[in-house]
Structure 1
């Protein structure tokens, strides 16, 4: 038996994690934290919002999930929903900085539970120039 190989760590050096407060996005954050602990991945969490009134709640959810296990960066992107979309803003960040992967929830905070993949996750998975891991 050979020594364990961490080849996958080169694929996941820098990970972007969109968090909207939904349980799927928090599970995606759990996975990213696990990669950070196992492989030393640098984690950047992004929250895109139009009014950003719930930022304290989002930060609290993030802190509770991470629980000082790893260091991370937090990006808050405020948008005018008439001029852009959440997926456009996430794609802008991905194209501006060299991320290796995106780990995100397959569905966000939409009310329709019959949908398996949300519009933001679909747009990111189709248009992102890097690997995308969708968490359900």
Structure 2
């Protein structure tokens, strides 16, 4: 089974990554980690480095990827959700593990929710880590 974990640098996304590392070990699956950004920066390098540390400490052989195929929009979380769904379709990922920031109704109306978009798509099983 191929499992995709999108990370955004938040503590929640790294909790999801730690959970995913244990999940793939238990189910003999392959872990794929991606960070979406509109460009590569020192911040994206730091996020990927932190992800490498998590993977290395879990003894998982996987290289986190940076996807810069991101269009800046008013609803960036919704676009991330679309990007994740595109990767699921293109690469045949069978499960997505990600965090949810627990945004309130107003925040969700303004910013959208990547996790909510993926869950509602029903395209792939999703595990949400709080």
- Normalised by the size of structure 2, how large is the TM-score? 0.80
Unmatched segments (≥5 aa) in structure 2: none
Cα distance between partner residues in 1 of 2:54 and 2:125: 23
The two structures, once aligned, show a CA RMSD in angstroms of 2.3
1:58-97 mapped onto 2 (5 Å cutoff)? 58-68=47-57, 69-78=59-68, 79-82=70-73, 85-97=79-91
Give the number of the structure whose residues are more often helix, by fraction. Answer: 2
For the residue of structure 2 that corresponds to 1:124, the secondary structure is: helix
Aligned partner of residue 24 in structure 2, secondary structure: helix
TM-score computed with the length of structure 1 as normaliser: 0.77
- Shift of the 99–45 alpha-carbon distance from structure 1 to 2, 3 Å rule, reads same
Output one character per residue of 1:65-110: Cα deviation in whole Å (capped at 9) or x when no partner: 2225111143321112149821111111111111110000012xxx
1:62 shift after superposition: 0.5
Partner of 1:129: 123
Mind listing any 5+ residue stretches in structure 1 that lack a counterpart?
1-12, 108-112
Count of aligned pairs between the two proteins: 119
Q: For the residues of structure 2 that align with 1:128 and 1:29, how far apart are their CA atoms?
A: 21
Which has the larger displacement, 72-81 or 56-65? 72-81
